[in-house]
Chain A
Amino acid sequence: MYAYIIRRLLTLIPVLLGLTLIVFLMIRAIPGNPAHIILGQAATEESIEALNKKLGLDQPWYVQYFKYLGGLLTGDLGDSIRTDSPISEQIWPYLAGTIELALVAMLIAVFIGVNAGIISAWFQNSWFDYALMLLALIGVSMPIFWLGLLEQWIFAVNLDWFPTGGRDNVRNPVEPITHLYIIDTIIQGDTEKLVEVIRHLVLPAVALATIPMAIIARITRSSMLEVMRTDYIRTAKAKGMKMFWVVYKHSLKNASIPILTVIGLQLGLLLGGAILTETIFSWPGIGRYIYDAINYRDYPVVQSSILIIALFFVLINLIVDILYAIIDPRIKYR
């Protein structure tokens, strides 16, 4: 098992290496360069050239690439062109914002999605099953920006239950420790701020949770239906077991591998793909950090942020693979 994990971690090296190259080239393929944007339209050729030289962008691309790689090997993510400060110092607050949002969204999606799928399978072909699956279909087809705007209009503007955006109350901000605000406010024992943080989280988390929730509900239903037809479920019923335990103990564990796979993939997607939600709810997360960096042609920020998101994605999938073996004793990694 440990040998397997180490081998899997080693295979990450070529994957991430390839990724850095692709991102490096793609960001440079976008027309325009940082000097143009920083100096504005009225800039002279000479001043642009001078700035390019200062930023090291006058060198051939492969020289730039190997310099960047060399930096990565020593743990240096590079400096932001826009702010002129090290990326490793400024990226964490944004990353923490997205991690907090994505985890809360995933928690909502898993809790509701899995239970909805189970109940649908349990009462297959009932009106409840049909209604839930219709909702799930609407959920997967709903554009996230539309849902976000709808939420803001109903719950923030009209009902005024939740704020329209941001992570905390600007007039009474959270003093960050870990930058995961829920944890920070709990450490500080500040219930008032904790409530504020949660109120800010609700709308974006629900918007972000919708699609994964619907996908999880559908996969749970089909996986459960398959398991509930098996002989060992009949055995469990023949023992005189309550249907609740037949479903939640014997069936769910067997149905969980496809569910887990989807959860892993969706969580990876949420971490990198929350840009729309973050933009609508002015959430200071990694998605918006990258979006702004692309607009400023802040090459190092784009490269390093995408690298970190990719790292999360592959690590989550590794964890999912390890969980398979924990759930199912027949799965052995050598």
Chain B
Amino acid sequence: MTIKPLLQVKNLKTSFFTDDGEVPAVEDISFNVYPGEIVGIVGESGSGKSVTSLSIMGLLPNPPGKVTGGEIYLNGKNILQFNEKQMRRVRGNELAMIFQEPMTSLNPLFTIGNQLMEAVLIHNKWPKKKAYDRAVEMLRLVGLPRHEELMNAYPHELSGGMRQRVMIAMALICNPKVLIADEPTTALDVTIQAQILQLIKEINEKLKTAVLLITHDLGVVAEVCERVIVMYAGKIVEEGDVHTIFQNPQHPYTKGLLQSIPDIRKKEKRLYSIPGTVPKPGSVKKGCRFYSRCNVRMPRCLHDQPPYYTTEENHKVRCWLVEKEGEEREQSTITTSQ
């Protein structure tokens, strides 16, 4: 494949600086997003999904959060080296984001129209009329009715699903190359969830916007994503295309996640769940981070951190079990694991 990645994250490390010193929230995060694809990042709460997305956007609350290592390339340019002014031009323009909480993500004191037009006017010196038309066009694109009326409405007059559609319209108004969607459906009820996902998929097909979809819901991943990245306790544990991950999961964590999805066809007494909780950031000093909850752990997992193996094309796993089965080690990760 010679297609260049649109967004390339390399060895990203983000830490939070607290009274107890530096606490790394995510480490060794490397992945690519190619033009026009939908990549999912899954993991439990506290696995570092949102920190990863905020690091890319440059919106980490600082202090205490700070990117302490790695590179993030957007269109071949390392945006981590951008100053605030350059970064502002990227945000909302080439790189847009929608958030988990549609109910609180719109400013309650400004009309929908004002907030939509503002998003476009920040990056373009357009006359107001043109911005207005563009905003109406976007409302139509995200499937909202009564555009003129909506432009003058305030956020509290809209339902959660409508607000998330407005957020999507706002994020897409400058035609970004990448859209980061941080749990866009978590706060919505199930039927609306399906509609919003459908909308994201449609937009991806229509506008060819690459989407980085962050979720804790594997069902969502199966429905819309082409590739999936599984995160656990601040590290990527497995990555591959959706079919591979669902058919042939390699990491015990991924297997556990897939087992915890209730299946209507199976008669089970009790739903499977992975025992324990995600360890506190910075609490695992050596060895595999999943060790305490793993059902197939080995003595070596306690002391040595497993490297990131490439098991087959487009399938990477961070687990010693893969080596036991005689797979090839990826050269570059040996150095980072030491």
- Which residues of A does B touch, CB under 8 Å? 230-232, 234-243, 250, 253-254, 327-330
New contact pairs (12) apart from A240-B90, A250-B110, CB-CB < 8 Å = A231-B99, A231-B104, A232-B104, A237-B59, A238-B92, A240-B92, A240-B123, A241-B122, A253-B109, A253-B110, A254-B107, A328-B109
Identify B59's interface contact among A232, A238, A328, A330, CB under 8 A.
A238
Q: Which of B152-204 contact A (CB under 8 A)?
A: 154, 156, 167, 170-171
In the bound complex, residues from chain A placing their C-beta under 8 Å from that of B101 are 231
Residue on B with the closest CB to A239?
B92
- Check if B93 sits within 8 Å of A240, measured CB to CB: yes
In the complex, the 7 A-B pairs of residues with the closest C-beta atoms, listed nearest first: A240-B92, A240-B91, A239-B92, A231-B104, A232-B107, A329-B154, A231-B105
- Check if A235 sits within 8 Å of B99, measured CB to CB: yes
* CB of B113, distance to nearest CB on chain A (Å): 13
Q: Which of B80-98 contact A (CB under 8 A)?
A: 84, 88-93, 96-97
Residue on A with the closest CB to B111?
A329
Asked if B151 lies at the interface with its beta carbon under 8 angstroms from chain A, I say: no
In the bound complex, residues from chain B placing their C-beta under 8 Å from that of A236 are 107
- Check if A327 sits within 8 Å of B92, measured CB to CB: no
Q: How many residues of B contact A (CB 8 A)?
A: 29
In the bound complex, residues from chain B placing their C-beta under 8 Å from that of A230 are 104
* CB of B65, distance to nearest CB on chain A (Å): 13
* CB of A84, distance to nearest CB on chain B (Å): 55
* CB of B6, distance to nearest CB on chain A (Å): 18
* CB of A255, distance to nearest CB on chain B (Å): 10
CB-defined A-B contacts under 8 Å, sample of 7: A237-B59, A238-B57, A238-B92, A238-B99, A253-B107, A327-B109, A328-B109
* CB of A241, distance to nearest CB on chain B (Å): 6
Per the bound structure, the CA–CA distance linking A235 and B108 in Å amounts to: 12
* CB of B134, distance to nearest CB on chain A (Å): 14
Residue on B with the closest CB to A232?
B107
* CB of A248, distance to nearest CB on chain B (Å): 13
Residue on A with the closest CB to B102?
A231
Per the bound structure, the CA–CA distance linking A238 and B91 in Å amounts to: 6
In the bound complex, residues from chain B placing their C-beta under 8 Å from that of A243 are 84
Given known pairs A238-B91, A240-B93, A241-B118, the reply for A250 and B105 (CB within 8 Å) is no
In the bound complex, residues from chain B placing their C-beta under 8 Å from that of A241 are 88, 92, 118, 122
Per the bound structure, the CA–CA distance linking A235 and B118 in Å amounts to: 12
Asked if B79 lies at the interface with its beta carbon under 8 angstroms from chain A, I say: no
Q: Which of A235, A243, A253, A254 has the most CB of B within 10 A?
A: A235
Residue on B with the closest CB to A257?
B109
Given known pairs A234-B99, A239-B119, A241-B118, the reply for A254 and B91 (CB within 8 Å) is no
- Check if B109 sits within 8 Å of A234, measured CB to CB: no
* CB of A329, distance to nearest CB on chain B (Å): 4
* CB of A247, distance to nearest CB on chain B (Å): 13
* CB of A244, distance to nearest CB on chain B (Å): 11
* CB of A224, distance to nearest CB on chain B (Å): 14
Per the bound structure, the CA–CA distance linking A235 and B156 in Å amounts to: 16
Per the bound structure, the CA–CA distance linking A238 and B122 in Å amounts to: 11
* CB of B53, distance to nearest CB on chain A (Å): 10
Given known pairs A235-B105, A250-B107, A330-B108, the reply for A240 and B122 (CB within 8 Å) is yes
* CB of A127, distance to nearest CB on chain B (Å): 15
- Check if A239 sits within 8 Å of B104, measured CB to CB: no
In the bound complex, residues from chain B placing their C-beta under 8 Å from that of A234 are 59, 99, 105
- Check if B109 sits within 8 Å of A329, measured CB to CB: yes
Per the bound structure, the CA–CA distance linking A327 and B88 in Å amounts to: 28
Per the bound structure, the CA–CA distance linking A328 and B105 in Å amounts to: 16
* CB of A205, distance to nearest CB on chain B (Å): 32
Identify B107's interface contact among A235, A238, A240, A242, CB under 8 A.
A235
Asked if B106 lies at the interface with its beta carbon under 8 angstroms from chain A, I say: yes
- Check if A328 sits within 8 Å of B118, measured CB to CB: no
* CB of A36, distance to nearest CB on chain B (Å): 60
- What mask results when residues 306 to 327 of chain B are scored 1 for a CB within 8 Å of chain A, else 0? 0000000000000000000000
Identify A239's interface contact among B84, B109, B110, B118, CB under 8 A.
B118
In the bound complex, residues from chain A placing their C-beta under 8 Å from that of B97 are 238
Per the bound structure, the CA–CA distance linking A240 and B105 in Å amounts to: 15
- Check if B99 sits within 8 Å of A254, measured CB to CB: no
Per the bound structure, the CA–CA distance linking A83 and B104 in Å amounts to: 63
Residue on B with the closest CB to A330?
B156
Per the bound structure, the CA–CA distance linking A239 and B171 in Å amounts to: 7
Residue on A with the closest CB to B180?
A238
In the bound complex, residues from chain A placing their C-beta under 8 Å from that of B93 are 240
Per the bound structure, the CA–CA distance linking A279 and B57 in Å amounts to: 59
Given known pairs A231-B99, A328-B109, the reply for A240 and B89 (CB within 8 Å) is yes
Per the bound structure, the CA–CA distance linking A242 and B92 in Å amounts to: 12
In the bound complex, residues from chain A placing their C-beta under 8 Å from that of B96 are 238
* CB of B104, distance to nearest CB on chain A (Å): 4
In the bound complex, residues from chain B placing their C-beta under 8 Å from that of A232 are 104-108
In the bound complex, residues from chain A placing their C-beta under 8 Å from that of B123 are 240
Per the bound structure, the CA–CA distance linking A235 and B123 in Å amounts to: 15
Residue on A with the closest CB to B173?
A239
In the bound complex, residues from chain B placing their C-beta under 8 Å from that of A328 are 108-109
In the bound complex, residues from chain A placing their C-beta under 8 Å from that of B109 are 253-254, 327-329
- Check if A239 sits within 8 Å of B91, measured CB to CB: yes
In the bound complex, residues from chain B placing their C-beta under 8 Å from that of A239 are 91-92, 118-119, 122, 170
In the bound complex, residues from chain A placing their C-beta under 8 Å from that of B167 are 235
- Check if B106 sits within 8 Å of A235, measured CB to CB: yes
Per the bound structure, the CA–CA distance linking A10 and B77 in Å amounts to: 67
Q: Which of B84, B101, B105, B107 has the most CB of A within 10 A?
A: B107
Residue on B with the closest CB to A236?
B107
Residue on B with the closest CB to A229?
B61
Per the bound structure, the CA–CA distance linking A53 and B84 in Å amounts to: 81
- What mask results when residues 63 to 86 of chain B are scored 1 for a CB within 8 Å of chain A, else 0? 000000000000000000000100
